[in-house]
Each structure stands twice: as C-alpha cells, then as structure tokens.
Amino acid sequence: MQDPTSPLPDAPRLKPLLGLPAAIALNMSQMCGAGPFITIPAMVAVMGGPQACLGWLLGALLALCDGLVWAELGAALPGSGGTYVYLREAFGKRTGTLLPFLFVWTAMLFIPMTMATGVIGFVQYTGWLWPGMTSMQGHLLGLALIWLTIAALWRGTGSIGRLGIVLWAIMLASIGCLIVASLTHFDAARAFTLPPGAFDLGGVAFWLGLAGSLTIGTYDYLGYNTTAYIAAELKNPGHILPASIVYSILGMFVVYFTMQVGMLGVVDWHRMLDTSSPAYNSIASVVLAETWGTTAARIVTVLILVTCAASVFAGVLGGSRVPYEAARDGVFFRAFAGLHPRLGFPTWGLLAMGVLTSLGFAVGRATSLTTLIQLLTTVMILVQSIAQIAALFALRRRRPGMRRPYRMWLYPIPALIALAGWSYIYVSANANAPGAYPIQWSLAWLLLGSIAHRLWSRMHGLRTEHA
C-alpha cells in the first residue's frame, strides 16, 4: 500500500488559465466585498472619532509590507495552497508534517470565518432594503448566499476568471457611486471635527484604540493574497502574482481612504457610535439616501449586495484550493487531492468551504462583528502571518540560489515592519475583545491541531517529527 504521506505524482493538476486582469479582479473583489461597507462605522466606534482614518493608513502599510512577503514566496513557489507550500519548503525537513498540517488546520478555520463576515454584511444591507426581515430570515438568506456561491464555483477555472471580472466591475460601480455621492455633498467641518484628546499619545486608550482600528483596517485589506492560493492557475505567476498583490493594495487604499473621509463628511460620526442604528449597520445606504435620495440608495444598495457576494465568491475560490496541495503531498486527507473529472476543480475543498463558511456565519450571527474579526485575525497571525515571515528568512538563508522571479524591495525592512505590525495586533487582541479571549482561543486551537496531527500520524503509522 502506498505511504499516505507520499506525494501523488499522477494526481490531476490545475491548469494555468488566469491572466493579470482576472488576478487583480479576484484580489480586489475579495479585499473590498462587505469590508468597508460594514467596518467604517466599527473603526469610528473603536477609535471614538474620525481619527479612525489612521487605521486605513497603517493598515495599508502593513498590508503592503506583508504583501511583499507573499509576492516573493508566491513567485518563487507558485503552487496552490499559498502558505502551506511556503511552510513545507522552509520547515518541512525540520518539523516533518506538523507545521504544514497546522497551517491547513488553521486555514480551514480562519478562511471560512473571513467569508462569514462578507455574508453578514450581505444580510445587514439586505435588512436596509427589507426592514421587516426577521432574524431567522436573515439566517436563511445568509446560508442561501453561501450555497449559491458554491454552485457558481462549480465550473471550470477559465469561466470563473471571466465571472470574477464581471463581479469586479459591479464592485467598482458600487463604490464609485458611493464616493461620488459623498464627495459632492462633502462637509469638511463635519468630517474633521475631532473629539477632545483624539491624539493623546500618552494615554493607553489611544494605543488600544489604534490597535483595534488597525485590526479592522487590516481585515479590510485581507484578500490581496487570493492569487497566491491559486498561483498554479495563473499564466505567468512569477510576474502576475507580485503585480496583482501590489496593484490591489494600492488601488484599495485609495478607495478605502476616500470612502472613509467622504462618509464622515456626510454623516455625523456620532451617529455611528450607536451599534443598533442604520448609520452603524448600513452606512453606505444612509449616505446615498441623504445625498441622492431613497431610490438611488436602493439601486446602489443592490450593487453593494452584489459586491458582498463577489467577495464571498473570490474567498471561497481561494480557500477551496488550500487543502488541495496538502492532500497531494499526503499531509492532509487524500480526498482533497481529487479534481472534478470534467471541470478540473477541487471538489471536496469547495464543498468543505461551503460547510465551514456556513458554520462560521452561524457563529458570527451569535457574536459581534468586531469580536469575530478579532478571533479570525489572532488565529491567522500565528500560523500564517508570523510563520510565513519566518519562512521568508529561512529560505533566504538556506536556499540563496533558489529561483526568485521577484525579490522583496528593501529586504528585510518590509518583512520586519510586517512582523512588528502583526505582533502589535496580536498582543492587543484581548483588550480589544473583552470577554472573548482571542489570544487564548488561538493558542487552544493550535494545541488542538497538534493533538489532531499526532492522532492522524499514529493512524497512518507515521513519525510526528524528523530527527
């Protein structure tokens, strides 16, 4: 019988069909989605005023520095699964299957949780169009969106790229309308009226609020790495992957910052502090209703709903590829290595994302949005963000002759800035989500994953570590 952890040389491979426009479209669709439409008020509430704009600035810096880590690793190791491939190549000989297994284990949690926030945003904005929607109807609507997304992805990669561009265009139309509406009715005095002590650098409250704002801002930029998860399906990953990451981050920074300032110039930020108000739950619809009128607000809200759906579409697409590469290497369940016999996509990975996103949506509906973001971010930081930076340093040192189509600008400064930013977010997580204990939950999840790995290894008669 074949060793279950040996690679599958004859397993079907994904086909490289996506070019740069489709890659940027998938990244930006995943980055925008529901994010700014539901988190702009949350950032204002966390910081206590319009100084929350700092979250977009620092979030862009962190995303760009971290994006350069993804760019170098992804261009050099363009396999499906993203971080899994990088950890396998950097640490596989030292940790055996443990570290790659833990990444897949963790990714199967934080990716669906991220998608769940997009589904929550879809339900929130539907509530503006349908004020009488009950909680149960909201639950059913969210689940319907998830499984319609799975159905839309049940097709070949080439048609997915074309569909992604269409959804991207709709996203640009929705945010374009919002920006134009807010800037043409902009009141600078309303936008830049700061509360007393807004920049009290000597106070603990400022730094904790900044960490919370940075966490939310960074969450909104997440998705710049979508193409790294599907690098095996890019036509020229050494060029397309780095370009798609950098262009996506810079483009979305302009969009996010303009949206934040524009909204603050239309809606008094004090209204966003009430978490039960329309200004908190559907700020974009409120802005449009107060500038262009209710009819225009309804039309653009429909576009926002499509944008939310597009983010779920792009995220589930990338997430479904994560267990595929690990399964091909025998580090995850073999079933995930199978592709659809005719359409050529990972069937079990896609179905698993549907089930887990449904569970994440249920958890999100039972908690607050900011708590959900804190939980998914802390889980992600240890096994993806920090581990991946370590992988970059390890590969630079141990494999200097490795082919690198893209090399990080100003190495190692961006990687060190990213490391500092992720560490700051992580250590501040408990204070920004009181009672949720995201740090403890992240460590417990890793412990549970280590136990699961040991049991899985024993089932197959494998050693859990290498000498």
Distance of alpha carbon 4 from alpha carbon 425, whole angstroms: 38
- If you average pLDDT over residues 399-427, what whole number do you get? 92
Q: What is the pLDDT of residue 64?
A: 94
Q: Is residue 386 part of a domain?
A: yes
Q: Which two tokens stand for residue 396?
A: 């630079």
Q: Is residue 352 part of a domain?
A: yes
In angstroms, how far is CA 98 from the centroid of its own chain?
A: 24
Banded pLDDT at 5 (limits 50, 70, 90): very low
The H helix count followed by the E strand count for the chain is 21, 0
Q: Is residue 430 part of a domain?
A: yes
Distance of alpha carbon 33 from alpha carbon 223, whole angstroms: 10
Q: Does position 296 have pLDDT exceeding 70, yes or no?
A: yes
**Does residue 230 contact residue 244 with C-beta atoms inside 8 Å?**
no
The CATH number of the domain holding residue 317 is 1.20.1740.10
Q: Is residue 8 part of a domain?
A: no
Q: Does position 269 have pLDDT exceeding 60, yes or no?
A: yes
Q: Is residue 439 part of a domain?
A: yes
Structural domains of the chain, count = 1
Instruction: Look up residue 258 and give its DSSP letter.
Output: H
Q: Does position 11 have pLDDT exceeding 60, yes or no?
A: no
Q: Is residue 133 part of a domain?
A: yes
Q: Is residue 36 part of a domain?
A: yes
**Does residue 76 contact residue 446 with C-beta atoms inside 8 Å?**
no
Banded pLDDT at 249 (limits 50, 70, 90): very high
Q: Where in the sequence is the domain holding 402, given as residue range(s)?
A: 20-459
Residues paired with residue 346 on neighbouring β-strands, in sequence order: 339
Banded pLDDT at 390 (limits 50, 70, 90): very high
342-375 confidence digits (pLDDT tens):
666 778 888 888 888 898 888 778 777 777 788 8
